[in-house]
């Protein structure tokens, strides 16, 4: 008799434990919430290469100072779900039909792309659009899509650039980390011919792969049952599942020339992912792996080589 009651009680307790854990994981990873847990992740440790006690000596502070001196136009669009999404737009010093649309990373915001904005606007002579992703910065949204719903937002941003700047505009998409996944996912959609090239820097193959990797690395937990359970909850609350959110599948459908960039010391998004992404792409492509660079630090480690690779690659397709 005890065994008869024990098994269903055990099943209920396991179900409650999984449900509670998936709610917790959804809150910290998917919901728009404080992401301070990332500060404890050793895979995201950075060293600016100088006196970290003096912020004025940091190149990140210099980029922020440059950003604060610029005069941006405020742009906005509405997502399919009704979120108001906002972006900064900076015109080139000279009139041009070239525009770069940048995509920041997880828990970031537009102004953290200042170094790339400066490269495109100052060195390459592009207009630059820098959106805050849904659930980030000044944009609306109660959840983070890891690039999947954001890909549709970027299709709208592309259309908005063409609407405002003209049919002859030439567009480059450039994203870092989650932003890289976003532009890769967008590249698999039916995009206008105005989009000439994509630059992805340290993006992941899929949301499922990345979250499973981090779940094991941060919590020493297997993917099952937490990833499927949280994916189901995400589908119910945010309208997408981890399984469908695949940059790899989208890259396989894309014919847009793509530059794949990654650091060979990246342990947050493992470097093996860029090789899988690169191999899967049927488009014109190039792989640039930066020696010694951790996650998101490829340009920081070797800015001259990074800028040269980007300029040369997109220069083949943007005239």
What are the structural domain ranges in the chain? Answer: 40-46+55-206+245-315
Helix runs in the chain, H state only: 2-29, 59-69, 114-118, 148-165, 178-187, 207-219, 226-238, 247-253, 272-280, 298-301, 303-315
Our measurement of the distance from residue 239's CA atom to the centroid of its chain's CA atoms, rounded to an integer in Å, reads 19
According to the model, what pLDDT value does residue 57 have?
A: 46
* CATH code for the structural domain at 40-46+55-206+245-315: 3.40.50.1820
Taking alpha carbons only, the member of 283, 250, 248 closest to residue 269 is 248
Taking alpha carbons only, the member of 196, 149, 205, 144 closest to residue 174 is 196
CB 183 within 8 A of CB 173: yes
Torsion (CA) 14, 213, 206, 290 in degrees, nearest 10? 170
Question: Regarding beta strands 127-131 and 84-90, do their DSSP bridges make them parallel or antiparallel, or are they unpaired?
Answer: antiparallel
Global pTM reads 0.92
According to the model, what pLDDT value does residue 161 have?
A: 99
Q: What is the pLDDT along the chain (319 residues), one digit of tens a residue?
A: 555 665 565 555 555 666 667 778 888 889 998 877 776 677 776 533 333 334 444 556 678 899 999 999 999 999 999 999 999 999 999 999 999 999 999 999 999 999 999 999 999 999 999 999 999 999 999 999 999 999 999 999 999 999 999 999 999 999 999 999 999 999 999 999 999 999 999 999 999 999 999 989 877 777 778 899 999 999 999 999 999 999 999 999 999 999 999 999 999 999 999 999 999 999 999 999 999 999 999 999 999 999 999 999 999 999 9
How many Cβ atoms from other residues are within 10 Å of residue 107's Cβ? 19
According to the model, what pLDDT value does residue 48 have?
A: 35
Taking alpha carbons only, the member of 172, 132, 101 closest to residue 32 is 132
Residue 203, SS3 per DSSP: coil
């Amino acid at each position: 008799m005890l065994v008869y009651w024990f098994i269903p009680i055990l099943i209920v307790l396991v179900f409650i434990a999984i449900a509670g854990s998936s709610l917790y994981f959804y809150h910290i990873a998917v919901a728009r919430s404080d992401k301070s847990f990332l500060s404890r992740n050793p895979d995201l440790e950075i060293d600016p290469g100088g006196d970290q006690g003096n912020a004025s000596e940091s190149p990140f502070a210099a980029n922020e100072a440059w950003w604060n001196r610029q005069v941006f136009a405020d742009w906005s669009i509405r997502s399919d779900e009704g979120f108001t999404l906002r972006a900064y737009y900076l015109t080139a010093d000279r009139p041009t039909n070239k525009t770069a649309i940048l995509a920041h990373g997880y828990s970031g915001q537009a102004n953290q792309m200042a170094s790339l904005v400066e490269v495109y606007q100052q060195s390459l002579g592009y207009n630059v659009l820098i959106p805050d992703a849904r659930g980030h910065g000044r944009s609306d949204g109660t959840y983070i899509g890891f690039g999947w719903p954001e890909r549709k937002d970027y299709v709208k941003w592309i259309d908005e650039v063409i609407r405002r700047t003209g049919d002859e505009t030439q567009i480059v998409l450039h994203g870092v980390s989650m932003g890289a996944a976003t532009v890769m996912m967008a590249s698999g959609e039916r995009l206008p011919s105005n989009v000439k090239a994509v630059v992805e820097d340290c993006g992941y193959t899929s949301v499922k792969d990345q979250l499973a990797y981090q779940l094991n690395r941060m919590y020493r937990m297997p993917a099952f049952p937490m990833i499927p359970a949280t994916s189901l909850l995400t589908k119910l609350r945010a309208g997408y599942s981890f399984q469908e959110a695949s940059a790899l599948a989208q890259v396989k459908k894309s014919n847009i020339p793509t530059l794949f960039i990654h650091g060979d010391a990246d342990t947050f998004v493992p470097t093996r992912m860029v090789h899988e992404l690169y191999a899967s792409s049927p488009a014109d492509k190039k792989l640039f792996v930066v020696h010694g660079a951790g996650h998101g630090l490829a340009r920081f480690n070797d800015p001259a080589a990074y800028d040269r690779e980007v300029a040369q690659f997109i220069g083949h397709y943007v005239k």
